[in-house]
Amino acid sequence: MTQPVQTPSVALPTKRASKVGRPKLGTERERHAHLLAQAMDLLMREGVANTSMARIAAYCGVSTRTLYQHYENKYALLIAAMKHMIEQDALVIGEIGQFRGQSLAQVLTEIGRFILNRVLEPKLLSFFKLSLTEVGLYPEIAREMKAVGPERIFQLLADLFKHYAAQGQLPQVNFIQAAESYCELLIAGPRMKALFGGLPADWDAEAHIAFVVQLFLNGLQGMKDQ
């Protein structure tokens, strides 16, 4: 099992920060993945509105021309970078979900630790706060971000719920809606507190995750088949 959440700002060790600059070794795919990770790092810290393609290129150690060869503008780059980031997170969540010999409560607890650590990372909090304003100006970008972001995680959770439902441990319900509800219970309160005023010094992440898992499963298991 992963270690309990110690502080809301500590990320799990499965995510390593990349060094700035283009790697000299590796395949083209690896170099492009590195570029996307670096671009996302910059966009999370400075926001899309405050970042230009030239700024991103300089930060990533490539030419502006190289960026434009792959992406027509910074918004297309943002979507690609977010998709890459979510795919990395999805791999971790998918691996946790493979331990299906455990109870659903145990699996959801492990997934909850990972997700909560991620959304409470300072860079992701900053990006979320900046995006609240920016996506309102570009609704089409907001739709694309949702499709490559939360919906990917929701589908992974929905597939997990289907597995346990097939074993008779859950009713047959709208599993996508159930996944959205679990994430909302897990994330919404802590993230808003962290963004506006900060989490209390005595806030217990483990207790929060345990409460959410129990509340969610008690509610879900009490539902009738749909």
The number of distinct structural domains making up the chain is 1
In a domain, 58, yes or no: no
Q: Which domain holds residue 134?
A: 79-221
What is residue 2's DSSP assignment? P
Q: Which of 54, 52, 58 is nearest to 38 (CA)?
A: 58
Residue identified by tokens 């808003």 is 192
In a domain, 8, yes or no: no
In a domain, 124, yes or no: yes
In a domain, 179, yes or no: yes
Give the tens place of pLDDT for each residue, 29-62. Answer: 888 888 998 998 898 888 888 889 999 999 999 9
In a domain, 6, yes or no: no
CATH number of 87's domain? 1.10.357.10
Taking only Cα atoms into account, the Rg of the chain, rounded to an integer number of angstroms, comes to 19
In a domain, 60, yes or no: no
In a domain, 32, yes or no: no
Model confidence at 3, in pLDDT bands (50, 70, 90)?
very low
Give the tens place of pLDDT for each residue, 157-203. Answer: 999 999 999 988 999 999 999 999 999 999 999 999 998 888 999 99
